[in-house]
Amino acid sequence: MERYKLIKEVGDGTFGSVWRAINKLSGEVVAIKKMKKKFYSWEECINLREVKSLRKMNHPNIVKLKEVIRENDILYFVFEYMECNLYQLIKDRERLFSEAEIRNWCFQVLQGLAYMHQRGYFHRDLKPENLLVSKEVIKIADFGLAREVNSQPPYTEYVSTRWYRAPEVLLQSYQYNFKVDMWAMGAIMAEMFTLRPLFPGSSEADEIYKICSVIGTPTQESWAEGLRLANAINYQFPQSAGVLLSALIPSASSEAINLITSLCSWDPCKRPTATEALQHPFFQSCFYVPPSLRPRAAPTRTPPPVARGPLQQQNVRRYSGVVSNPKPAGDLSSFKSQAIDTGVQRRLNMAAEDAKKNQRSTYASNRRQKYQPPGRNGPTTINKGRVAGRGVAEVADRFANMSVGGARREMHPPPPMKAGGWRAGPGDSFLRRSQEAVHPSRRKVAG
C-alpha cells in the first residue's frame, strides 16, 4: 500500500469502505476498497466471491479490478476510479433525465449483465449505489454477493436492498436464479424516469404490498409458484388491481413502459433475459449501423483534373483525327466539361494504344522492301529516312494531309470502279478498304 496515497473516503458499506487514492508512481487515480474483515491467509482472499468473479470478467461495463493487496491481515481491492454512482446522480438531480440518457445507461448495464450471466454469474445486489458513472459510461460494481448461476441452492434469503429485491426472494424462495437481476433492472429503470423508487417498502411485508399496489395481485394464471410460496409461509397477498405504469411514469415512452412491465413480472420465467431485453424496440436506436448500410444521398462529384503529359497531348491530337465528329485538339476544356473522368481516362488509354500500334506499324512498314497496298498495313510511300526521328503527332498530321515525304507529291485517287469496287476521295485511300487491294498501276478498269 506504500505505492498508493489515500485521498478521501467516498463510500462506506456493510463489508468495507471505499477510498479515492492516487498511484504515487504513475499518478493514476484509483478507488481502493478496504475490507472490514480480517484475512489471515491468501487462500481466504482468493476464495472470495468478489475476487473469483471479477478475475473471470473483462467487460467495458463491469468495473475493472486492478490489484488485490493483503497487508497486516487487511485486504485491499484496487479498482479503476469512477466519478460517482447512479444514486448520487438521482439524489442531486433537479430535473428529469432525458429518455436518451436513460436508454444509453440501461443499454450499457444490460450489456454488462448479459456478459456476466453468460460467464456463469449473477449479481444479486443490483441497485443504483452499485452502478458507477463517469460522464456517459456506466459500470456494474460490488460483486460481494455475486453467485454462480450453476451453484446449488439453497441461497441466502437477504440478497439485495429491499426496494430492488425480487418477489420470489421476498417470499423466501431458495431456488431463485439470475432473473432476480432482471427484476432489479426494471425497478432501477423506472426510478431513472421518476427520480423516485418504484417499490419503496419499509419492510418485507410492506415491500410486497407496494408491488401489489403497482402491478396488481398475482393470480393462479400469472404466477402459480408465487401463490404456493405465499401459502408455505402463511402469507396472503393484499388484493389490488394495480395501476397503469404509464400513469406513474408519464415521461416514459410506450416502448419504455413495455420493457419495464416485462422486467417487473411476477413470474421470473416471464421476465426477459439481458440478451432478450437488449433486443427490445426501446433500444432500437442504440444498435450500430455500418456506414455501408446507412441511407445517404449520392454526392455530386466533380471530375478531377486530368494531368496530361506531352505524349498524352499528342495522343489526343492523334485520336481527334480518327474518330467521327472529332473535336479540335486544342479545345480540351470543352472536352473535359462534357465527359466524366472515367470516360476521359478510357479514351486516353485507347488513344495511347492506337498511337503505339500505328507507330509500330509505321516502323514495320519502313523495314519492308515489298510494296504494300494502301489501307492494309498503313502507307509505305513515306520516306524511311525522314520518318524515323519524327513523333506520333507529325505522323498523324501527315496521314491527315496525305502528303508524302520530302518530295511533297500529292496522291491522286484511283479511278472509279464500275463494278464491285469503291470510290475514295482525297485523303481516304488508307481509311476505306476494298474487297481486293491491288497496285494502282496494275489496276484494270472494265469497259
Whichever domain contains 209, its CATH number is 1.10.510.10
Are the CB atoms for 166 and 268 separated by under 8 Å?
Answer: yes
For residue 171, is pLDDT > 80?
Answer: yes
More confident of the two residues 326 and 239: 239
User: Averaged over 289-315, what is the pLDDT?
Assistant: 55
Residue 150 pLDDT level (bands cut at 50, 70, 90): low
Please identify, among 81, 106, 136, the residue that sits at the C-terminal boundary of a domain. Answer: 81
pLDDT-derived band at 290, boundaries 50, 70, 90? low
Looking at per-residue pLDDT, the higher value among 335 and 82 belongs to 82
Q: pLDDT class for 303, splitting at 50, 70, 90? A: low
Please give the Cα distance from 227 to 222 (Å, whole number): 10
The pLDDT score that the predictor gives to residue 8 is 92
Tell whether the model's pLDDT for residue 367 goes beyond 80.
no
Both 58 and 123 in a single domain? no
441 inside domain: no
Looking at residue 315, its pLDDT comes to 47
Q: What is the pLDDT of residue 301?
A: 58
How many separate domains does the chain show? Answer: 3
Q: Are residues 62 and 114 in the same domain?
A: no
What are the residue numbers of the active site?
A: 125
Q: What is the pLDDT of residue 209?
A: 97
In a domain? residue 61: yes
User: Quick one: 108 and 199 in the same domain?
Assistant: yes
Q: Are residues 30 and 95 in the same domain?
A: no
Q: Mean pLDDT over residues 75-94, rounded?
A: 94
Q: Over 70: is that where the pLDDT of 360 sits? A: no
Q: 410 and 284, same structural domain? A: no
- pLDDT surpassing 50 at residue 399: yes
Residue 277 lies in a domain: yes
CATH number at residue 16: 3.30.200.20
Instruction: Kindly state whether residues 241 and 337 are assigned to the same domain.
Output: no
pLDDT of residue 319: 44
Domain boundary among 47, 65, 81: 81
In a domain, 296, yes or no: no
294 versus 195: the higher-pLDDT residue is 195
Residues 63 and 106 in one domain: no
Is 356 labelled as part of a ligand binding site?
A: no
pLDDT single digits (tens) 182-230: 999 999 999 999 999 999 999 999 999 999 999 999 999 999 999 999 9
- Is residue 444 domain-resident? no
The verdict on residue 316 lying in a domain is: yes
Q: Is residue 241 part of a domain?
A: yes
Residues 160 and 267 in one domain: yes
State whether 132 and 22 are in the same domain. no
Q: How many residues does the chain have?
A: 447
Question: Is the pLDDT assigned to residue 43 strictly greater than 80?
Answer: yes
**Model confidence at 403: pLDDT above 80:** no
Q: What percent of the chain has pLDDT over 90?
A: 51
Q: Is residue 391 part of a domain?
A: yes
**Over 50: is that where the pLDDT of 384 sits?**
no
Segment 88-93 shows an average pLDDT of: 94
- Residue 50 — very low, low, confident or very high, per pLDDT cuts 50/70/90? confident
Cα–Cα distance measured from residue 51 to residue 225, given in angstroms and rounded to the nearest whole number: 34
Mean pLDDT of the chain: 77
Question: In the prediction, which pLDDT does 271 show?
Answer: 98
Q: Which domain holds residue 348?
A: 310-320+331-433
Asked if residue 140 and residue 205 are part of one domain, the reply reads yes
- 220 and 138 share a domain? yes
pLDDT of residue 56: 85
Asked if pLDDT for residue 332 goes beyond 50, the answer is: no
Per-residue pLDDT tens digits for 98-145: 999 999 999 999 999 999 999 999 999 999 999 999 989 999 998 887
Tell me: do 77 and 104 sit in the same domain.
no
